[in-house]
């Protein structure tokens, strides 16, 4: 069973590479903004390190029927990666793009909601890692949308995840042309829809938590797509590529804990136990996705695991391990 799942994933990864090999290069859309240009001349080749990572995470490419989170906020990603669509009469906003090769799945989900891809005006990014930015180049090309990201992640997006401070060249993705960068607290207005960028650096330097309000009839709720606050395998002591990593993470824990937060979402659904809450809602608890304490809970759990890892690395540094 496990082997056959891996075989399916490897097959889909190879198909993805095939798809990229056929993708047009250096094409400009006459009606679209410059952000929709395909910036890479080279077809994307996924290295073995990334193929192995994907094979170990089959949910990142697994289909998931799209569904309404609340009001105009929809889940449109694969099962294992949070990708969200916020719709508005003046244009829609997509947040993140899954792994390289997830774009067709995300686009099919959006179309199945009756939404025209060209109605998407912006693609926002949570952070410049291949599991959230991997499909963005394709999505930007297909929609004509502008890509907007935290200022400190723009260069990493544009070099397709290469030379990542923690991962080097192990997890690249098709390079993304960033049309606009945002600073901490910056608000984006699209008609009545307002999305706010909160800089939550650490996981990447430009890691961004996005917040907005979604209303269902008269019930308006604060939605928060929390930027990842994990540090998987990161060097926390003496990190020459990221000297402020400790301070940045600490500030980000406090930032997320302080946000008004009715429905917490995340780039990885398990960050906020999303599927258990969705299942509970399906069983009849209409409020199962609403938990104003969840941003605080996630921040404090992340702070605790960060502190434990930091203590471990400091002890190792002292003992010379
Ligand atoms: Zn990440």
Tens of pLDDT along 241-263? 999 999 999 999 999 999 999 99
pLDDT tens across 185-205, in order? 999 999 999 999 999 999 999
> Residue 11 domain-assigned?
no
28-37, 92-101, 147-156: least confident range: 28-37
Closest CA to 55 of 11, 1, 97: 11
> Residue 182 domain-assigned?
yes
- pLDDT computed for residue 319 by the predictor: 73
> Residue 1 domain-assigned?
no
> Residue 279 domain-assigned?
yes
Give the distance (Å) from ligand 1 centre to CA of residue 298: 16
Closest CA to 125 of 170, 87, 179: 179
Give the distance (Å) from ligand 1 centre to CA of residue 203: 6
Give the distance (Å) from ligand 1 centre to CA of residue 127: 7
Give the distance (Å) from ligand 1 centre to CA of residue 164: 11
Taking residues 67-82, what's their average pLDDT?
Answer: 98
- pLDDT computed for residue 134 by the predictor: 98
Q: Is the pLDDT of residue 4 over 80?
A: no
Tell me, yes or no, if 285 is annotated catalytic: no
Question: Which of 20, 132, 164, 225 is labelled catalytic?
Answer: 132
Q: Nearest 5°: CA angle at 274, between 186 and 68? A: 70
Question: Which of 75, 127, 198, 225 is labelled catalytic?
Answer: 127
Closest CA to 152 of 134, 170, 168, 165: 165
Taking residues 59-71, what's their average pLDDT?
Answer: 98
- pLDDT computed for residue 15 by the predictor: 42
- pLDDT computed for residue 58 by the predictor: 98
> Residue 147 domain-assigned?
yes
Tell me, yes or no, if 142 is annotated catalytic: no
Taking residues 19-26, what's their average pLDDT?
Answer: 36
Domain that holds residue 212: 62-319
Say how far apart CA 298 and CA 271 lie, in whole Å.
7
Q: Is the pLDDT of residue 156 over 90?
A: yes
Tell me, yes or no, if 234 is annotated catalytic: yes
Q: Is the pLDDT of residue 28 over 50?
A: no
Question: Which of 141, 167, 234, 298 is labelled catalytic?
Answer: 234
Q: Is the pLDDT of residue 39 over 60?
A: no
Taking residues 116-138, what's their average pLDDT?
Answer: 98
Helix count and strand count (H, E) for the chain: 9, 12
Tell me, yes or no, if 198 is annotated catalytic: no
Share of the chain above pLDDT 70, in %: 87
Q: Is the pLDDT of residue 32 over 50?
A: no
Confidence of residue 42 (pLDDT cuts 50, 70, 90): confident
Q: What's the CATH number where 113 sits?
A: 3.60.15.10
Mean pLDDT of the chain: 90
> Residue 50 domain-assigned?
no
Count of the separate structural domains present in the chain: 1
Tell me, yes or no, if 131 is annotated catalytic: yes
Tell me, yes or no, if 189 is annotated catalytic: no
> Residue 104 domain-assigned?
yes
Say how far apart CA 36 and CA 176 lie, in whole Å.
9
> Residue 36 domain-assigned?
no
């Amino acid at each position: 069973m496990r082997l056959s799942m891996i075989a399916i994933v490897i097959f889909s990864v190879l198909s993805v590479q095939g798809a990229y090999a056929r993708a047009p290069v250096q094409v400009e859309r006459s009606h679209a903004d410059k952000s929709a240009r395909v910036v890479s001349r080279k077809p994307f080749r996924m290295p073995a390190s990334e193929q192995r990572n994907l094979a170990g995470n089959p949910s990142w490419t697994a289909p998931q029927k799209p569904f309404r989170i609340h009001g105009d906020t929809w889940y449109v990603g694969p099962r294992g990666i949070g990708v969200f669509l916020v719709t508005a009469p003046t244009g829609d906003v997509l947040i993140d793009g899954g792994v390289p090769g997830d774009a067709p799945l995300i686009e099919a989900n959006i179309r199945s909601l009756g939404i025209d891809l060209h109605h998407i005006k912006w693609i926002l990014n949570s952070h410049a890692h291949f599991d959230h930015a991997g499909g963005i180049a394709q999505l930007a090309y297909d929609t004509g949308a502008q890509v907007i990201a935290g200022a400190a992640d723009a260069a990493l997006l544009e070099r397709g995840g290469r030379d990542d401070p923690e991962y080097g060249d192990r997890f690249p993705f098709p390079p993304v042309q960033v049309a606009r960068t945002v600073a901490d607290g910056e608000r984006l207005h699209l008609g009545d829809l307002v999305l706010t960028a909160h800089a939550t650096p650490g996981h990447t330097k430009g890691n961004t938590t996005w917040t907005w309000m979604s209303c269902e009839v008269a019930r308006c709720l604060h939605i928060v797509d929390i930027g990842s606050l994990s540090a998987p395998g990161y060097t926390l002591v003496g990190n020459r590529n990221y000297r402020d990593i400790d301070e940045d993470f600490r500030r980000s824990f406090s930032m997320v804990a302080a946000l008004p937060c009715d429905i917490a979402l995340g780039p990885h659904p398990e960050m906020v136990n999303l599927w258990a809450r969705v299942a509970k809602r399906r069983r009849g608890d209409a409020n199962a996705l609403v938990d104003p304490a969840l941003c605080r809970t996630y921040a404090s759990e992340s702070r605790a695991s960060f502190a434990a890892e930091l203590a471990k690395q400091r002890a190792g540094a002292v003992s010379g391990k």
